[in-house]
Structure 1
């Protein structure tokens, strides 16, 4: 169960040495500590918090996922869809219409992104209403459209990378987004560590090893993997580590 279950809970941020700067998030009721989970959203997904020499991003545990353990590597399971424009979306506007081949629930892609595949522009999505199957839907954007977007162009709509997070799975085809500092249950909101010294569940490793993700929820030394295969790099070991135990790594996913 989440530590925080209501907005006016009186929770105090006991994260430690928090470096409050201009790019930091401000959350209500004193803030959500990096050591607390919440069943309600207290910051925008992807909001950034710096605690000493460590960096965290606000994330949500995937609804229906198995529990995430403290020190587990976490990956992204966010959805995306390919779309065509629903007409001309004029420059200067903050709405984008598109044709939805399948039904989309309200705000499924809120805080996500609109990618113009054929032109290279990229927009953050603020919100959208529920969209019925085989109809034209509308996205509300944070920023104005740069140039006219035509129905003939190709588009992709991507959920926020911190929305549906789960324990990293075995294999090298995942997108690691960070390490959980606490144990989590389904649908919890939490601060996900993305940079700096971090306690991580590991396979056997030696201080200085370049670490990648492959074993479920664990980091593994790159020199233990087959050459010629791509693996996501997540950091370097700061100490020797025993298999299936936790070791200190300098995490290098998102500064």
Structure 2
């Protein structure tokens, strides 16, 4: 099994090396990077490229590690026992399988995505150490062991909001997705907006990267946001000259697609005022 990217996902050479190394080592691939750099989409594209099903576990702040294994619904069992339901005689009727159980018991190789692991409690990664390492866990209510006969490809994403435990990191192959340089970004844009005029693209990306590097910017716009911005520019049929004209006022055209909080908008308004004052 070898991943080389897909027609709809531009994977850099170092990213493909990381994916294939993790597959060879049979270790989880931990992918970090700015929001919007394609971490979640990577797992879907790996599954598509290798022709495998994908199981997605999207982690929230309230997610517990146990939910990924299974949950025992004791309340429903108690209610059914009070109603005289015969289902109560089999505890397995009240076991709800989690995403890891689904991946471990799959009859074929699958891609398991554990998305945004850093959103959960700091103990969350530690609670999954043994299960991800051994690819098995014990179900106390039924006395059975769920073990993966076919080891899944595990891809874990993190936005770097929290530091992950060293013991967890040791069990992963790590890759940081750097924000694309302009030439790579042009390739990404070509996938999503094929045939865009070179003059418009060059001017738009020049303004975009200048905006990203503005000192004091609270939230730098991501890849997904520049793609949305370009879609709006194309819908409005704007030209390279239109963008250059608007650049004199500091705020780019349709900047609402790029700037997502009032502090950054005010920053560029102040820059625009200072620019006009110097004229």
Question: The TM-score by the shorter chain falls in which range?
Answer: under 0.3
Normalized per residue, the structure richer in strand is 1
**Greater Rg by CA:** 2
Normalized per residue, the structure richer in helix is 2
